[in-house]
């Protein structure tokens, strides 16, 4: 049996801070309303040059430095995102190229705000079977690009960012011990983001029209219903995953929930009887970064000294789909864990510059090769119709 241990973690938040007051200067809202209903004061916004892939790369690079492993040792990269630049190439493929992770397979996973926990489960299973030794699991989002900035019910909630973990297989018990994944597609219309090519959206039916009856390519949400759904499934998920991991609830040291709203978590805390002090929250300054929120909060929890070796931590996600999921992780620091060396980070950054140059060279050599080879001409026999039956 191979256990999947988290041996590296990293996050990246764009530099630009957008406060509630700044939003209130554009739409009819105010700091007091936003803060008391959600716990959010500010969020980060990506600049024009940043994409889900560049944010994901920054987080992954930091996680690899912490894990002290080389990109060529990575076998699998999964990016959980709802805001990719392209359907294909996947965000994960772009990250693979930016890192120069030449031995890694790469794909994106779409499960909205539950995406990171789903992806963690996929990578854990791959490690468990022995087909993968090292995997990077990333949550990355540029939510600011899919918001209707005139819709005060949604634009106040979301922010941009990325978080990543490096998972490594080991025979030492610990790491990701159990997970759960759930979905209820009948609630898909409660929280939706149409793909660009689905506008208008005849195939999905009228329930996918936004609340004012129009189609749009921005997030549509029925906030109260999502609130009720989250308050119900989060306690159930925590109990289910704790049972799978053979933990009593009082053996849980920390819960890192999807960072959507402090009030949701307060209601979860009351329902399940785990004190708020055991829930790590950073929604105040990061907003809701969808699939990125759990790994970003995890990194901040580690930085704040909230996780000690051998602690039991639960990640719990919920969101569009509807989807919800949880993971039970025994935070074990492996004896073989190496500390990053002095200047290691700078040396690695140089390597990433080389990786991008190498990718460009490959593109050029492909273009030159294609020119030299000329256009492929159809087989003469096919042209004459000789092969027709």
Tell which residue, 58, 1, 22, has the closest CA to residue 295.
Answer: 58
Span interacting with ligand ACO, options 1-9, 221-229, 269-277, 343-351, rule CB under 6 A: 221-229
Nearer to ligand ACO, 168 or 288 (CB): 288
Tell me: does residue 317 bind ligand ACO (CB under 6 A).
no
Tell which residue, 161, 146, 111, has the closest CA to residue 221.
Answer: 146
> Is residue 217 flagged as an active site residue?
no
Given 112, 120, 164, 255, the residue binding ligand ACO (CB under 6 A): 112
134 DSSP 8-state letter: E
Per-residue binding string, ligand ACO, 170-209, x by CB under 6 A, is: ---------------------x------------------
Q: Please give, one letter per residue, the 3-state secondary structure of 13-35.
A: CCCEEEEHHHHHCCCCCCHHHHH
Q: The tokens of 48 are what?
A: 């024009």
The interaxial angle of helices 344-373 and 52-67, nearest 10 deg, is 130
Contact 280, 254 (CB under 8 A): yes
Residue 54, burial from CB neighbour count under 10 angstroms (0-12, 13-18, 19+): buried
Given 100, 194, 320, 321, the residue binding ligand ACO (CB under 6 A): 320
Nearer to ligand ACO, 228 or 356 (CB): 228
> Is residue 113 flagged as an active site residue?
yes
Q: The tokens of 229 are what?
A: 């759904």
Q: Which residue is nearest to ligand ACO (CB)?
A: 223
3-state secondary structure (DSSP) of residue 207: helix
Nearer to ligand ACO, 37 or 356 (CB): 37
Binders of ligand ACO among residues 79 to 108 (CB under 6 A) are: none
> Is residue 155 flagged as an active site residue?
no
**Residue numbers annotated as active site:** 113, 258, 288
Positions in the binding site for ligand ACO (CB under 6 A): 29, 33-34, 37-38, 112-113, 152-153, 156, 191, 221, 223-224, 226-227, 260-261, 288, 290, 319-320
């Amino acid at each position: 049996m191979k256990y999947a241990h988290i041996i590296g973690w990293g996050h990246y938040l764009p530099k630009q801070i957008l406060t509630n007051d700044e939003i209130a200067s554009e739409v009819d809202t105010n700091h007091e309303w936003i803060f008391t209903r959600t716990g959010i004061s500010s969020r980060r916004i990506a600049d024009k040059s940043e994409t889900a892939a560049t944010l994901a790369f920054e987080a992954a690079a930091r996680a690899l430095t912490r894990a002290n492993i080389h990109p060529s040792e990575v076998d699998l990269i999964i990016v959980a995102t709802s805001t990719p630049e392209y359907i294909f190439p996947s965000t994960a493929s772009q990250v693979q190229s930016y890192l120069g992770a030449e031995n890694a397979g790469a794909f994106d996973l779409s499960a909205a705000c539950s995406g990171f926990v789903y992806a963690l489960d996929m990578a854990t299973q791959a490690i468990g079977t022995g087909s993968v030794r090292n995997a990077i699991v990333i949550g990355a989002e540029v939510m600011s690009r899919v918001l209707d900035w005139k819709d005060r019910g949604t634009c106040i909630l979301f922010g941009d960012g990325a978080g990543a973990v490096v998972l490594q297989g080991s025979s030492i018990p610990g790491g990701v011990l159990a997970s759960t994944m759930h979905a209820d597609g009948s609630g898909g219309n409660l929280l939706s983001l149409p793909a660009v090519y689905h506008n208008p959206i005849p195939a999905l039916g009228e329930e996918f029209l936004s609340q004012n009856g129009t189609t749009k390519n921005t997030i549509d949400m029925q906030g109260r219903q999502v609130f009720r759904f989250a308050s119900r499934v989060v306690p159930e998920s925590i109990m289910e995953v704790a049972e799978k991991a053979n933990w009593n609830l009082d053996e849980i040291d920390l819960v890192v929930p999807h960072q959507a709203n402090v009030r949701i978590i307060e209601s979860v805390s009351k329902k399940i009887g785990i004190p708020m002090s055991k829930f790590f929250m950073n929604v105040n300054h990061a907003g809701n970064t969808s699939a990125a929120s759990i790994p970003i909060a995890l990194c901040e929890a580690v930085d704040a000294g909230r996780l000690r070796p051998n602690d039991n931590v639960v990640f719990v996600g919920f969101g569009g789909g509807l989807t919800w999921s949880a993971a039970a992780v025994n935070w074990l620091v492996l004896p073989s864990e190496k500390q990053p060396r002095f200047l290691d980070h700078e040396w690695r950054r140089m390597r990433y510059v080389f990786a991008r140059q190498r990718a460009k060279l490959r593109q050029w050599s492909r273009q030159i090769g294609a020119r030299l080879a000329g256009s492929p001409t159809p087989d003469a026999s096919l042209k004459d119709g000789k092969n027709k039956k």
